[in-house]
Every structure is written in C-alpha cells, then in structure tokens.
Amino acid sequence: MSDRSPIITAHRQDEAACLRDLLAQVALPPAWVQARAAQLIQVARNRPPALFDALLQEFSLSNAEGVSLMVIAESLLRIPDRATIDALIEDRLGHGDWHRHLGHSPSRLVNVAAWGLATGADLLHHAGLVVRLGEPVLRAALAQAVRLLAHQFVMGSSIEDALARSDTRYRYSFDMLGEGARTQADADRHFDAYTEAIAAIGRTSGGQGPIVGPGISVKLSALHPRFETAQTERVLAQLAPRLAELGRLAQDVNVGLTIDAEEAHRLHLTLDVLERLVWWDGLGLAVQAYQKRARAVCGYLAEMARARGVRLVVRLVKGAYWDGEIKRAQEAGLATYPVFTDKAATDLSYLACAHILFGGETFIYPAFATHNAQSIASIEALAGSRTDWEFQRLHGMGERIYEQIVASHPCRVYAPVGHHHDLLPYLVRRLLENGANGSFVNHMVDEDAPIDSLIQAPHQVCRGGLPEPPLMFAPERRAAVGWDLSEPDVRAMMEGHAAARPDHPRPPTSAPADVNHAVDAAAAAAGSWDRLGGERRAEILENASDLVESAAPDLMAGLVHEAGKTIPDALAELRETVDFLRYYAVQARKHFGGDMVLPGPAGESNRLRLKGRGVFAAISPWNFPLAIFVGQVAAALAAGNAVVAKAAPQTPRIAARAVDLLHQAGVPRGVLHLVTGGVEIGQALTQHPGLTGVSFTGSTATAQAINRRLAARSGPIIPLIAETGGINALIADSSALPEQLVDDIIVSAFRSAGQRCSSARILFVQNEAAKTVERLLAGAAAELRLGSPWHLSTDIGPVIDAAARDRLQAHADWIGHRAARLFECPIPDGLAELTMFGPRAFRLENADLLGAEVFGPILHVVHFARSHLGSVLDWINASGYGLTLGIHSRIDSFWQQVAENVRVGNIYVNRGQIGAVVGVQPFGGEGLSGTGPKAGGPHTLFRYATETTTSINLAAIGGDVGLLTGGRQPKFTPCGRS
Ligand code: NAD
C-alpha cells in the first residue's frame, strides 16, 4: 500500500495555509493564456447558445423562477399521482414573476417554455386552482418541458441509444445514472447495468484501446448499499471483488473504466478499493481539485501507477458536492473544511494538480474536465509539447467552447445514460453547480458579464474563504470540536478508546439522608454563587466545557460501556454537552451580567434584575446521561442556582465523572451535589422543602408523579421544568424523494436503537408512495449492522437493559397480532451478553393502535390519502403529545400546512428529526411532551431565575441627574456585583 500520510496531513491543513502553499507553488500563467481564454469566450458567445446555456441565462438560481423550475425538474416526473403533481405545479408556478421572462431568450425553445410557464401561472392566479382550467394540458406541457430538459443532459435512455447518438469527433465516457444503492437489490441492478453497458461499449470500441477509446464511469456508491468508511471491512470483502469483475470485463473488451469521485468522506475507502484493482492500463479515478488534499492524492496516484507499472487515467474535476461538504464539516464540527471555500483557490489547486499529473510521466494519462476557459487555456500552457492527455466536458454543456478545441485536441464527453427519473438528482447537481452566481458557466452565458472578469488567473482573485467550522458561532462561543470518523487514524484512535473500559468506580447509591444533607448544603451555598454574577459563572462553565473536551476519550468510553452508545452517538453526545456549557455561559453573561434599566417617569430609577431561585433539583434520564445531565445542571448554575443533581440509576458513573469535571472547573462543592439512585431517591429529593425548583427530563408518567408531589407540598409553589416523551410522527407525501426519505427514516427511527425522545415512532406515508418506500425501507434496514457499540461498524447497539428489552418485546408481540410486520432485523450470533433488540416495522390499518410512547427501535407505518391529510393532523394533535415532527415533501405549501396545524415543539422538513443542536434547534415539546422552555434556547435560563424590580425615587435625594445632563434611554448596564 502506498503512503497516505501526505493525504492525511493535507486534509487537516487550514485553508489559509493551504492557499499560501498554492500561491507559492503555482506560477502565474503566461500572458497569452488570458488572450486565449478571452478568445474562447468571445467566439463561444458569438455562436447560438445551447439550450442549457440559454435556459441558465433566463432562469438562473438567483431568481425565484429559476429555483422553482429546478424543483419542478427534480420532482415532477417521479411523482406517481395527479393530485400531488397538481399541488407541486400550483405551489411552484404560484410564486415569482414568470412574465418577465417572456420573449427574452435567443433560444426559441426557452421562449416557448417561458410562455408556457407564464400562461400556467396566469391560469393559476385567475382560476385559483389548477384543477379548474386546463389542468391536464398544463400537467402534460410541464412534463414535456422537463423531458426536453432531461434530453439535453442524458445521451440516451439505454446504452445503445447513447452510443447511436455519439458524435464521432468526441471520445465518450458513459455514466449509468441512478441514486446510490440503498439496498442490495439496487446494487445488483446497477451491477447488471454496468455489465451490459461495458459489453455494449466494447462492441463499438473499434480497437482503440482502453485509454483513448470509449469508456465507462462507475459510481461505487451505486454498487454497494453501505459504501461508507465505517463499513470498510465489508465493502472490501463484497464490493472490491465485484468491481474487479467489472474491471476484467472492461479489460477483455478494451474499455476504460473510471471510478467517479463522490463525497470527501468516501475518499479513503475509494482508494482502498482502487488499490485492489490497479493491474491494467485503462483504469481511472476522478480527483476533485476542490479538496485541499487533491495535490497529495495526485502524487499518491502517480506513485502507485509507477510502482505497479501501469498507466492510470486521472480525471481532474473541480468537484460537485461543494455545498454538501461545507454543511457536513460544520455539522460535524470538523477543525477545518475538506474543501476550499474560496472558489478561486479551487481553480488554483486545479492547476497545481495538473502540474503534478503532467509530471507523472507516462504512468498517468491526465484528463481535464472543466468548462472554464481560463482553466482550459492554462492547461494548454502547462501541457507544453505533451500530447497524451485529453479534455473532458459534460454532455449538454460546454459545446460552444469545445467546438473550438476538439479538432486540434482530444476531448471526451461525460455522457449520462438512463431514464428520466434517474437523471433528476444528477441534473439538479449540475444546475446547482453551474447556475449559481459565482460559477463560470453562469457568467459565460451572461452577455453582460465582462470578459475581463472571466479570464483572470485565480492567483489574482483569491479572497480567502469562510471562517473555519469551529468559528461558526463566533464571536460568542466556539463550537464543540468533532472528529472526522472517515479518517483512518481517527477511526483507529476512536475504536481504541471505546474498547478500553474506564475504571471509574460506581458511586454508592445515596440514602434519603444524603439527599437531605445535599439540599441543605446547597441552600447554604446558593447565595454566594448567585452573587458571583453571570460573567464569573460563565467563565467557570467555559472552563468546564474545555475540561469535558479534553476528557473526551474517557467520557466517550464511559458512554459506550455504561449506556451502550455507539461511537458516533457518544461523540455527538459529548459535543452536545460542550455546546450546552458554552451556550449557557453566553446566556449567563448576557442576562445575568447586569440590571436592565427600564423606562419610567423623570426623577425615578427603575431596574430589573434576574437572579437564581435557590436550589434546583436536576433529574435526568439514562438515554443522554452526559448531555442532558450536564445541560440541566449548567442551565441551573448559569442562572445562579445551587444544584442537587440526580443521575439515572443506570448511568451513575458518567454523572459522577461530569460532576468531578464541573468541580475541577471551579463550581464550588457546596454548590453542586450528586445523588444517585432510583425512584425513592427521586421522591426524597422532590419532596424536600428546601427545593426552589425542579428540572426534570424523563417519561411523562414520572413528570406527572413529580408534579403531584410538588403540588402536595406546603410552602411556596415552585417551578417544574419537564421535558418528556412523545409519539413522534413523520409525514411524507408522494413528492418526497424515496431514497432521501428512507435515509432519514432509518436514522430517525433506529439510530441509538430508537432510544431518543425525538425518535420517529410513526410514519404516515401517502398511499401512492407507500409501496416503494416500504420496499426501500426493508431493504435498507436489512443492511444495518447490529453489534457491540465499541465497533465503528455498528449501527445499532443494545437497548439500555433487560427490562427495556422485555417491554419492547411485549409491545412487538401485542402489535404483531394486530398489524402486519414489514421487517425485523435479526440479531447476529455472539451478542448474547448484550441486551439487543432488532429494529422492526409494522403496518397499522389504524393509527389508534399506538396510544403511548414506545421507547425503542419499533416503527409504526400508516398509509394516508392526500385528501385525508386533515385526519392525520387531527390524530397527531389528539394524541396529546407534541415533541418532534418530520415532514418530507417537495411542496412548500404542503409542509407549511402541516406545520401550521400541528402542536409540536420541533419540526424538521426534508431531514432527519433527531440530533437537535444547542442554540440552533432549541429542543423541547408541548402538551404531554413537556412544559418548556426549550433546552438550549434563548429563553431557557429565565425559567430557572427569579426577578427583582428596584424602583428608586431619585427626586428624594436631590433630582434626576440623567434628565438634567441629557437623554436617558433604557439600556443594560454592568451591575458590578462581586
Ligand atoms: P424515567 O421517567 O423513568 O426516569 C427519568 C429520571 O427520573 C430518572 O433519573 C429516574 O430515576 C427518575 N425518577 C423516576 N421516578 C421518579 C419519581 N417518582 N420521582 C422523581 N424522580 C423519578 O425516564 P427514563 O426511562 O430514564 O428515560 C426515558 C424517557 O425520557 C422517555 O420517555 C423519553 O422520551 C424521555 N426523554 C425526554 C427528553 C426530552 O427532552 N423531552 C429527553 C430524553 C428523554
């Protein structure tokens, strides 16, 4: 295996340093490059635009109509029923100003389309509903328009069609379209399609050899349902041999096979697979220049090809998942982005990579895939006298530029093959990539954009990129650090930590007397803690956040061993804990750092001060034994209270460790106490007369018991902040993309073995989509890996204890007699010592069969008719719970209607419904699901506080100085308490 360490190092380099290296390494292109690029653009602009260019010119993503058109293009052809198609059309044509696109375009087709869209929009406005006037006509016209658009991008619906359409001046690499596989059946289908395509291409290749002849592009995620780093072992065992089989077929018929690039987190896995295949000339890999490690990857490939004595094709692309990469890095809290966030840096990296590829002697056959005239001219300059390389463009794009080149230098067309519905995700990628304001293609078609702005060398336009992910919430707070679990060394480290059982002793179970003592001691310490002030308390909480971050390996191991968390879950929980501490620190500083000066009559000072209530009991569940435990404690502390925290009986070790860290950080021992034990200790705590508030997270029944106990006490009435359970629904209409929906169902219903309060419990899926979704869901669930939580490959670990497993089994048995079982994941052998419960789903004829929260990986599925959406919403409201709700739909008015009519705390649209982020998605429900305020939100601390208003008659001591010396606006002033 070649050395990957330069790839790993480059990946972690920050963008600024990386850019400095690039600027030092890549010489400014010679002057003629600019002139050549300008000429390419000028000549291209003088030719009639291709349909895509004209379309982009008229409907770019910077106008509402362009975005609507993209949504229609993405979803229209795959929606199975008329009612939903009409709803989509109404939703999308109802917005924007379609008339302003009339008669503008140099393309007749675009003008016809604009006319059709404007007419459709008029019909809607005048008739109110598309149904009343010309509905079938409009539906058919739009479907036709999308097919026409698709035709621009797809070479043919079959490989034979595509081959027949080939233009002999170009070389071709055919791409079999399709979503990544979610099931083994999908993967098998894609394998067969590739096999047939290779044979068909081979029949026409005419002995040109695998490098310069026609080839095929293969997407590894299409060939395996779990093409993820965490599943490396099984991918190598299952996918590598299948790919080798395709390789041999390709080799036999002299067809080149290039592996497409996908998301950055799949790179190492892709290289692992590739290494097992490099045995013949004709294999290729796409490398994305937008990755900071692109140069290192090029160097690595050149070295590998040389060592194996083969010729490797390297297709250099800029990269098509840019927005997704930025999002993922921010969500995962990575120290730095995997990609350049400044587009000019990518262009520069492209040239640096080209330089390395040309230096790879004959072991590398470089292919430069770009539509950017400046990059094209620069590559020509870098190539010098070398001729054994090619350009590449996408089918349907870049014709006007490449028409000028193809006669003198070989150019290959990347040509998608497949059915319209498979094309759509690909199409949207292309539109997003090229329709955005900053893209070259977009400017190139915009005649008003000056050529000068398009031909500058990237050196001249680098601006520096986005702030790195940890600075996402700057300047208020640092985001919690995450680890990139797709990096080989990080994975090894994580598995090492997780496997080591921490040796912290289990704290002894408290006696009721300990509880009394703790509350009394806390009451004695509360005043001085409150007087410390928000600023100092914030510093202590921030210290604690740093200590938690540095104790990560130990805490994560605790979560894995004591709570049965998988490694990714343990990491997410650790980060949430850190975020809670920093977020509440910010809130303490903001609201408890001084008095609010209130407006009032002259001669009077009016001030409002927030302060701690006294002693809070913080009672937490086992399912987030660190994040919820620390979150409750931190909120109470931030607001100036002393705390007696009761950990769940299943997870006292983690709680003890957290309390230790808080003490180390500077929380006085008298201010924070831990008690352990079950119901009796909870009861002893909540009936103690010294308590001034209770923060509880757990089941609704326990919250009600606590509420009754508090009500029965004599003395002051104290607040109860309760976050409880839910029967969380997920509603999907038939416009949802089934693959995306199923990914989100799997995560929402089964991740953490369904033991999250936010987990989806009941899926309402529209009749017309139900069959497809259930098939995909069962297939995807079959690919889940059940196992020990300390292996990274484990998706589903154990449930918390035998009692929980027995409750789940009892429910499964009960519902199994009343509903159809859709699937059940079997428990592999060798896990007898773990309390495993296989994820499963049941189809219910009647949602009423589910009357209470079932806390584990059991999903209930109910079909609904679009026309009866109202009764679904009624059911959700009538359940009385209101915690989370997922909605999947491409139709804005659909999700808006749902969101407006249900009483639920956290609504998630077109994404998973678990994993709320502190300060980003403040979390908590209503009704039976909780009292509020939400955890991790801007209003949390107020409930933990009490308020004092102080009104001073200034006239009594001589007069209103503020009035006499100028204005007196109400404002916050530092209170200077110490
Ligand atoms: P639980 O109600 O059984 O226990 C929660 C805590 O309350 C534990 O520490 C327990 O010892 C204590 N307790 C139990 N009886 C008590 C009593 N009579 N008086 C005082 N304390 C008592 O809940 P659980 O099984 O640990 O956790 C799972 C539940 O928590 C699920 O219902 C889940 O939905 C809910 N939950 C809600 C949220 C949220 O934010 N809404 C978050 C996590 C979990």
5-43 tens-digit pLDDT: 999 999 999 999 999 999 999 999 999 999 999 999 999
Q: Which of 321-335, 433-447, 525-539, 694-708 has the lowest mean pLDDT?
A: 433-447
Is residue 377 located within the same domain as residue 344? yes
What is the 3-class SS of 395-409, one letter each residue?
A: CCCCHHHHCCCCCCC
pLDDT tens readout for residues 297-328: 999 999 999 999 999 999 999 998 999 999 99
Phi, psi angle pair for 958, to nearest 5°: 130, -30
CATH number of the domain enclosing 555:
3.40.605.10
Distance CA(624)–CA(631), nearest Å, equals 10
Which of 461 and 679 is assigned the larger pLDDT?
679
C-alpha 725 – ligand 1 centre gap (Å): 9
Q: Which of 274-288, 597-611, 680-694, 961-975 has the lowest mean pLDDT?
A: 961-975
Residue 900 lies in a domain: yes
Is residue 200 located within the same domain as residue 102? no
pLDDT tens readout for residues 326-376: 999 999 999 999 999 999 999 999 999 999 999 978 899 999 999 999 999
**Model confidence at 976, in pLDDT bands (50, 70, 90)?**
very low
Q: How many CA atoms lie within 13 A of 517 on its CB side?
A: 8
Please give the model's pTM, rounded to 2 decimal places.
0.95
CATH number of the domain enclosing 377:
3.20.20.220
Is residue 276 located within the same domain as residue 411? yes
The yes-or-no verdict on residue 223 having pLDDT over 80 is: yes
The whole-angstrom distance between residue 452's C-alpha and the CA centroid of its chain comes to: 38
Nearest CA residue ID for atom 37, ligand 1: 724
Nearest CA residue ID for atom 13, ligand 1: 679
Is residue 419 located within the same domain as residue 298? yes
Report whether 135 contacts 85 (CB < 8 A).
no
Domain boundary among the residues 396, 424, 452 is at 424
Distance CA(348)–CA(287), nearest Å, equals 14
Strand, coil or helix: what is 384? coil
pLDDT for 73: 83
Residue 285 lies in a domain: yes
Nearest CA residue ID for atom 23, ligand 1: 698
Give the H or E element holding residue 48: none
Average pLDDT over residues 163-175: 95
Is residue 293 located within the same domain as residue 381? yes
**Model confidence at 966, in pLDDT bands (50, 70, 90)?**
low
Report whether 779 contacts 808 (CB < 8 A).
no
Q: Which of 316-325, 444-453, 483-492, 933-942 has the lowest mean pLDDT?
A: 444-453
Pocket test for ligand 1, best of 510, 519, 562, 623 (most atoms within 8 A of CB): 623
What is the 3-class SS of 746-789, one letter each residue?
A: HHHHHHHHHCCCCCEEEEEEEHHHHHHHHHHHHHHHCCCCECCC
Average pLDDT over residues 770-797: 97
Is residue 756 located within the same domain as residue 711? no
Phi, psi angle pair for 413, to nearest 5°: -105, 130
Nearest C-alpha neighbor of 733 from the set 124, 88, 69: 88
Which of 153 and 923 is assigned the larger pLDDT?
923
C-alpha 656 – ligand 1 centre gap (Å): 18
Residue 974 lies in a domain: no
C-alpha 651 – ligand 1 centre gap (Å): 12
Report whether 345 contacts 462 (CB < 8 A).
yes
The yes-or-no verdict on residue 977 having pLDDT over 50 is: no
Give the atom of ligand 1 at the shortest distance from the alpha carbon of 686: 20
Is residue 92 located within the same domain as residue 10? no
Pocket test for ligand 1, best of 699, 728, 761 (most atoms within 8 A of CB): 699
Given phi > 0 = left and psi -120 to 50 = alpha, else beta, which region is 815?
alpha
pLDDT for 130: 47
Residues having CB within 6 Å of any atom of ligand 1: 619-624, 628, 646, 648-649, 678-679, 682-683, 686, 697-699, 702, 705-706, 723-725, 757, 853, 855, 883, 924-925, 930
pLDDT for 971: 45
Average pLDDT over residues 385-398: 93
Residue 907 lies in a domain: yes
pLDDT tens readout for residues 107-159: 888 888 888 888 888 877 775 554 555 677 788 888 887 887 777 788 999 99
C-alpha 702 – ligand 1 centre gap (Å): 6
pLDDT for 959: 73
Pocket test for ligand 1, best of 702, 709, 806 (most atoms within 8 A of CB): 702
Domain boundary among the residues 119, 150, 181 is at 150
Active site residue 723: yes
Is residue 650 located within the same domain as residue 667? yes
Give the atom of ligand 1 at the shortest distance from the alpha carbon of 726: 34
Owning domain of residue 707: 511-724
Is residue 713 located within the same domain as residue 785? no
pLDDT for 974: 43
Average pLDDT, the chain: 93
Residue 810 lies in a domain: yes
C-alpha 74 – ligand 1 centre gap (Å): 43
Give the atom of ligand 1 at the shortest distance from the alpha carbon of 703: 2
**Model confidence at 956, in pLDDT bands (50, 70, 90)?**
confident
Biggest CA–CA distance in the chain, Å, is 104
Q: Which of 135, 723, 739, 783 is catalytic?
A: 723
Q: Which of 59-63, 603-607, 790-794 has the lowest mean pLDDT?
A: 59-63
The yes-or-no verdict on residue 51 having pLDDT over 70 is: yes
Q: Which of 18, 353, 757, 825 is catalytic?
A: 757
Q: Which of 130-144, 196-210, 461-475 has the lowest mean pLDDT?
A: 130-144
**Model confidence at 56, in pLDDT bands (50, 70, 90)?**
confident
Phi, psi angle pair for 699, to nearest 5°: -80, 160
Q: What percent of the chain has pLDDT over 70?
A: 97
Is residue 719 located within the same domain as residue 733? no
Distance CA(642)–CA(561), nearest Å, equals 30
Which of 132 and 891 is assigned the larger pLDDT?
891
Phi, psi angle pair for 664, to nearest 5°: -60, -35
Strands (E) located in 778-932:
820-824, 840-843, 858-864, 881-882, 884-888, 906-909, 926-927
CATH number of the domain enclosing 876:
3.40.309.10
Give the atom of ligand 1 at the shortest distance from the alpha carbon of 930: 41
pLDDT for 138: 80
Average pLDDT over residues 779-793: 97
**Model confidence at 2, in pLDDT bands (50, 70, 90)?**
confident
C-alpha 376 – ligand 1 centre gap (Å): 62
Q: What percent of the chain has pLDDT over 90?
A: 79
Domain boundary among the residues 671, 690, 724 is at 724
Average pLDDT over residues 491-509: 88
Residue 433 lies in a domain: no
Strand, coil or helix: what is 299? helix
C-alpha 442 – ligand 1 centre gap (Å): 55
Is residue 77 located within the same domain as residue 193? no
The yes-or-no verdict on residue 871 having pLDDT over 90 is: yes
Distance CA(756)–CA(759), nearest Å, equals 5
Q: Which of 139-143, 518-522, 561-565, 947-951 has the lowest mean pLDDT?
A: 139-143
Average pLDDT over residues 734-753: 97
Q: Which of 6-20, 387-401, 418-432, 654-668 has the lowest mean pLDDT?
A: 418-432
pLDDT tens readout for residues 545-567: 999 999 999 999 999 999 999 99
Nearest CA residue ID for atom 40, ligand 1: 723
pLDDT for 440: 81
Residue 354 lies in a domain: yes
Residue 472 lies in a domain: no
Report whether 686 contacts 694 (CB < 8 A).
yes
The yes-or-no verdict on residue 462 having pLDDT over 90 is: no
Give the atom of ligand 1 at the shortest distance from the alpha carbon of 706: 19
How many of the other CB atoms lie within 10 Å of CB of 374?
26
- Report how far apart, in Å, the C-alpha atoms of 578 and of each of 62, 156, 457, 542, 630 are: 38, 52, 43, 9, 9
Give the H or E element holding residue 296: helix 294-308
Give the atom of ligand 1 at the shortest distance from the alpha carbon of 646: 9
Give the atom of ligand 1 at the shortest distance from the alpha carbon of 647: 9
Q: Which two tokens stand for residue 45?
A: 């602009």
Is residue 113 located within the same domain as residue 220? no
User: Across-strand partners of 173?
Assistant: 215, 414
What is the 3-class SS of 164-194, one letter each residue?
A: HHCCCCCEEEEEECCCCCCCHHHHHHHHHHH
How many structural domains compose the chain?
A: 4
Nearest CA residue ID for atom 35, ligand 1: 698
The yes-or-no verdict on residue 917 having pLDDT over 70 is: yes
pLDDT for 720: 98
Give the H or E element holding residue 377: helix 373-383
pLDDT for 973: 46
Strand, coil or helix: what is 729? strand
C-alpha 452 – ligand 1 centre gap (Å): 65
